[in-house]
Amino acid sequence: MKKVITYGTFDLLHYGHILLLQRAKELGDHLTVGLSTDSFNTLKGKQSYMSFSERKDILESIKFIDKIIPEENWSQKAKDIKERKIDIFVMGDDWSGKFDQLECEVIYLPRTPKISTSSIKEVIKVL
């Protein structure tokens, strides 16, 4: 069974996230998502609109996601990949080159243009 992992905040889940998650799952048979905790978001300098548990509930409703784990720091990826016997690590290409040192196949997928959580927040602000 080919295992895939990806990480992110996935706040205000939108089709850019969905297309990333779908493509990640298509690369294997099992998809784990490392979901950034609220405290890690603070470390990342991100204030998510939805809490970790709300973001987790939403991801749990997506049938093709097989496992969700908390992402609590930058350095857990290598351990997650080893312990969970991950074959492929996937991120959008805004992260291109940042995780090449990981000991598994590393794939950066093209980001979906014209959609982002921050652009959604801007639109909502003016509604």
- The residues annotated as belonging to the active site are 44, 46
Instruction: Indicate the residue among 3 and 33 with the shorter CB distance to ligand C2G.
Output: 33
What DSSP element (H or E) covers 91? strand 88-92
Structure tokens of 21?
């998650």
68 three-state secondary structure: strand
Instruction: Indicate the residue among 16 and 28 with the shorter CB distance to ligand C2G.
Output: 16
Q: Which residues of 79-106 are buried (b: 16+ CB within 10 A; e: fewer)?
A: ebbeeeebbbbbbbeeeeeebeebebeb
CB of 111 to ligand C2G, least distance (A): 4
Residues of this chain that bind ligand C2G (CB under 6 A): 7-10, 16-17, 20, 36, 46, 71, 91-92, 94, 111-112, 115-116
CB of 25 to ligand C2G, least distance (A): 13
Structure tokens of 89?
């690590």
Instruction: Indicate the residue among 66 and 116 with the shorter CB distance to ligand C2G.
Output: 116
